[in-house]
Amino acid sequence: MKAFQVTRYGKKEKLVLSEVPEPIIKDNEVLVQIHATAINLLDSLVKNGDFKIFLPYKTPFTNGHDLAGVITKVGANVSKFKVGDEVYARPSDFHIGTFAEFIAISENDLALKPKNVSMEEAASIPLVGLTSVQALVEIANLKKGQKVFIQAGSGGVGTFAIQLAKLLGAYVATTTSSANTELVKSLGADLVIDYKKEDFSTILKDYDFVLHSNRESKILHQSLQILKQGGTLVSLTGPPTSEFAKKIGLGWPFQFLMSLLSMSVKRKAKKLNVNFEFLFMRADGNQLSEITTFIEAGKIRPVIDKVFPFEQTNEAISYVETGRSKGKVVVKLK
């Protein structure tokens, strides 16, 4: 089968279109013929080697973290799915590889595809949907009437998180450019800040929760300052913490290293009496099934910017890396 692989780590490296063997499934896995996948900034970070410290993939490996497709084989112990089922997923770490024609994936990572969306739309959902749920529901426990600041509202995570926060009854502020103001308003944003013209830290005050996705340390520290006492900031870009290292099973040397990396921001958070957490989302088929109910009920809709053919996967990644995409960028295989 054809697959786009990371053959060498590096920011200037491109994925290589390769012929690789079709995966052999284990007893708890299914084989999915991939109809569509989606591009995430995570794909670039993995390719660049930015996360090698806790995701040490051995090259060559197939990249890609989102999929929608059809099950063609099931393992002996699989009980929740059958051949012919239309499914979608974010495969678990160390089992990624959605930039390919087929993937072997644990049934625990899978959910049935929402019936009211296309394969391309379904492929755009898993990573950003799970990220949003794990940040807003699991960590923030967001309640009706609370105030949440979601950065980069027109991006992949932002377009989903705004809708979920509104569904939970929150007041939502976000940043975007003036060109995307109407888009984020249509998703439910209550207050839209043009980051090119305005400084959010002078406008926002006493927020319960911040979903942080900017890689500039200045923005991170400004974001802490807009929280009310006891409020929480969840960062998707880091720095990773010792608690995160312990949670994923890394030894004390890595825990110590990550405590050093996050020392400055955690010190500031403590001084302000607010909470800082780093989130690296996890695969979860049950959570994805809950997201399916939101999609099928029309309460959350996928937002897609562009669809690229499979052969142009590298071009799709380059487009996402510009930071100008609105919603998700999808790659179509079938």
pLDDT digits (tens, 9 = 90+) for 283-325: 999 999 999 999 999 999 999 999 999 999 999 999 999 988 9
* Contact by Cβ (8 Å): 210, 151: yes
Structure tokens at 58: 């051995």
Alpha carbons 49 and 41: distance in angstroms, whole number: 13
Which residues have CB under 8 Å from 225's CB, separation 6+? 201, 272
Domain 127-278, CATH among 3.40.50.720, 3.30.70.20, 3.60.15.10, 3.40.50.280: 3.40.50.720
* CA distance from start to end of the chain: 14
pLDDT the model gives residue 54 = 85
pLDDT digits (tens, 9 = 90+) for 158-172: 999 999 999 999 999
Question: pLDDT below 70 — which residues of the chain?
Answer: none
Task: List where CATH 3.90.180.10 sits in the chain.
Answer: 2-124+302-332
Task: List where CATH 3.40.50.720 sits in the chain.
Answer: 127-278
Is 278 in a helix, a strand, or coil?
Answer: strand
pLDDT the model gives residue 275 = 97
pTM exceeding the 0.75 threshold for the entire prediction: yes
∠ Cα 97 99 68 (to 5°): 90
Is 200 exposed, middle or buried (CB count within 10 Å of its CB: 0-12, 13-18, 19+)? buried
Structure tokens at 168: 């939970």
Alpha carbons 148 and 37: distance in angstroms, whole number: 30
Alpha carbons 94 and 56: distance in angstroms, whole number: 9
pLDDT the model gives residue 254 = 87
Alpha carbons 39 and 123: distance in angstroms, whole number: 9
270-306 burial by CB neighbour count: b if 16+ within 10 A, else e?
Answer: eebebbbbbbbbebbbebbeebbebbeeeebbbbbbb
| Protein fold of 2-124+302-332 | Quinone Oxidoreductase; Chain A, domain 1 (3.90.180)
pLDDT digits (tens, 9 = 90+) for 207-226: 999 999 988 889 999 999 99
pLDDT the model gives residue 249 = 86
